[in-house]
Structure 1
Amino acid sequence: MFKNARLYRLEQPVRIDGQELETQLDGRRFRPCGPLETATMGWSAPLGEDGGALVHPLEGCLLICARKQERLLPTAAVKEALEERIGEIEAGESREVGRTERRRLREQIVDEMLPRAFTRSRRTRAYIDTESGWMVIDAASEKQAEEVVSLLRETLGSLPALLPAPAEHPAEVLSRWLLEDSAPADFVAGDACELRDAEEKSGVVRISGGDLSSDEVLAHLRAGKRAVKLALTWDERFSFTLADDLSLKRLRMAEELLDTLDDEIEDPAVRFETEFALFALQLRNLLARLEDVFGLAEARAGI
């Protein structure tokens, strides 16, 4: 299940169905790195099976998965091999190796080492909610999410997806919740947050397992720091850490919701689809609340 949620708002209604998307993604199906390639990226089956369906339509959502494979070629290993090669040339030919030749030698060494380098793969699940107009990516970093968005743009030819545009900066809203104990009733602050000084990037305070209503925390906020990350529970359905870019990390669905699933489902694929359908429906409700709380609906109307 998704542990993160990087959000992208689709400017236009999604008019693609699962079968059409399957056909287009199949044109960029993942393939392993070639001998001289440092990385490849393409579409893979969300359930992990080789050759399986690339799109799973569930509850108005289109579940997909991007896979990236990289060859692991440590910079230190290349540097060491390069220095040995340069040493041999300088000793054998009694001359110095210039910058242009050094660059050419480095490229030659990389070409020699790449075919023997180990590879590492990373899968990133995402889905398009055709009803709410959100694209959700299970990525821990903005860079990882942007790679998926870029791949989908290249695959489809275009993708009018934008980062959330709140009416008020989320850090101001989260800080006010802590300072004034004014969070909506369905959002309950946890025991972790990150406070950051807007003018001093080094002025960061991280609190974990603490009382966020303590005098110490409030003093930091009154001194000008802002809550850029805050652990929250929403409506006893999800727990997560909300960041000031409106990304969600450490996302977990409540055990009470998971307990509603049929324990007798033995097929892993069926169980995954059942869990995902429940997750996507509940997250759709959470995103609707975030739209209200942070003015995302108003920002969208102004596009």
Structure 2
Amino acid sequence: MWFKNLRVYQITEPLNLQAEALERALQEHKFSPCTGQEAVKMGFTYPLHHSIKQYHHQQGHLHLFAVKRQEKVLPAAVVNEELQPKIDALEAEKGRPLGRKEKNALKEELIQMLLPRAFSRSSVTTALYDEQNQWFIVNSSSAGRAEEVLSLVRKALGSLPALPWIDQNQLNLAMQQWLTNKGLPQGFVLGNEAELKAPDEEGAKVKFSNHLLSAAEVQSHLEDKLVTKLELAQENQISLMVCDDGSLKKLRFHEMLTESNDELGWDDMVLRLDADLLVMANELASVLKAVRQAVSAE
């Protein structure tokens, strides 16, 4: 339930989510396993719990989705071991070395032959639509995986008008100031992790972990480097890494939040999960508002 990484998007037009119609739309794109020569399959699965067979879960203004992705795993070493004898045999038959295109074609043919025997690897990515704040939040550190989720939701709904939730240029400027302990998002202090990189393509990089970020040896790097990742913390609430591409990673919710609903127990699973969802969503909304407000003030 508790998100660990965030890819956030601003929804530019409110989504019309009628429960029954939405459930039917998602079911039309439900997950089914890879078959035969299929290398990757994606589809919706149950977001709240596998025993609660609904493809969409709503708690007030919050809408929870889950996308399951399955891919066939073919290690490169296995493919290459099978490929080389085929290349050798074909080169002997033709009496000449094979060109790159010929080798690639042979490799693709081999992969298609091996796929039915390959192991499968599955993962589930959850996403939250905050109807009140018009945010679509994907629980993933990967931009590619988040885009896959958006694409599938867009396919099911017919449209999903989503834009980046924050101005990246303004964020980059703000992060430079934040590392100097100025203009931080309200309620936040510097954590103890940061990464900086020189602006040129092959520029030097430096990473600090478990380090006092106000130290002179850290601050000196601001003269010729840009902040790419910066940890912020809110006492007894949350810590997270702000990244220069607008993503938020390494979310750690304080136990005061994660255990705030313990008195409910787990006898009523939906009640407990809903309560945790509400606590998490409220905290995420507070964080996103604070970060965006601090960025806009730059």
Q: CA separation in 1, counterparts of 2:185 and 2:281?
A: 22
Shift of 1:103: 4.5
Q: Which residue of 2 aligns with 1:158?
A: 159
Q: How many angstroms does 1:52 deviate by?
A: 1.5
**Aligned residue for 1:242?**
242
Aligned to 1:74: 75
Partner of 1:5: 6
Q: Secondary structure at the match of 1:150?
A: helix
Partner Cα distance (1:7, 1:41) in 2: 21
The superposition leaves residues 240-263 of structure 1 with CA deviations (integer Å, 9 ceiling, x where unpaired) of: 111122211111222222332133
The CA RMSD over aligned residues, in Å, is 2.4
The DSSP-based 3-state class of the residue aligned with 2:263 is coil
Instruction: Check the 8 A contact 2:48/2:57 in 1, yes or no.
Output: no
Q: How far apart, CA to CA, are the structure 1 residues paired with 2:196 and 2:115?
A: 43
Which residue of 1 is the match for residue 208 of structure 2? 207
What TM-score comes out, normalization by structure 2 length? 0.90
Q: Distance in 1 between matches of 2:114 and 2:167?
A: 48
- Structure 1 length as normaliser, TM-score? 0.88
Residues 170 and 294 of structure 1 are in contact (CA less than 8 Å); yes or no, is this contact kept in structure 2? yes
- Tell me how far apart the structure 2 counterparts of residues 90 and 201 of structure 1 sit (CA, whole Å): 40
More moved, 210-219 vs 275-284: 275-284
Higher mean alpha-carbon deviation, 187-196 vs 252-261, is at 252-261
Deviation by residue 1:236-292 (Cα, 9 ceiling, x = unmatched): 422111112221111122222233213341244543332112101221222222232
d(CA) in 1 for partners of 2:159, 2:107: 37
1:1-303 to structure 2, matched below 5 A, reads 1-49=2-50, 52-91=53-92, 93=93, 95-96=95-96, 98-99=98-99, 102-166=103-167, 169-179=170-180, 181-221=182-222, 223-234=223-234, 236-267=236-267, 268-295=269-296
Are the aligned partners of 1:193 and 1:230 in contact in 2 as well (CA < 8 Å)? yes
Matched residue type, 2:30:
R
CA offset at residue 167 of structure 1? 7.9
CA contact (8 A) 1:65 1:123 kept: yes
Could you tell me whether the CA contact under 8 Å between 1:167 and 1:294 is conserved in 2?
no
Alignment size in residue pairs:
295
Does structure 2 conserve the Cα–Cα contact (< 8 Å) formed by 1:168 and 1:295?
A: no
Rounded Cα–Cα distance in structure 1 between residues aligned with 2:94 and 2:185: 76
1:224, distance to aligned residue in structure 2 (A): 2.7
**Deviation of the 1:220 alpha carbon:** 0.9
| Identity across the alignment (%) | 33
Distance 1:184 1:86, change over 3 A: closer
1: CA distance, partners of 2:170 / 2:96 = 57
SS in 2 for 1:155: helix
Q: Contact 1:18/1:62 (CA < 8 Å) preserved in 2? A: no
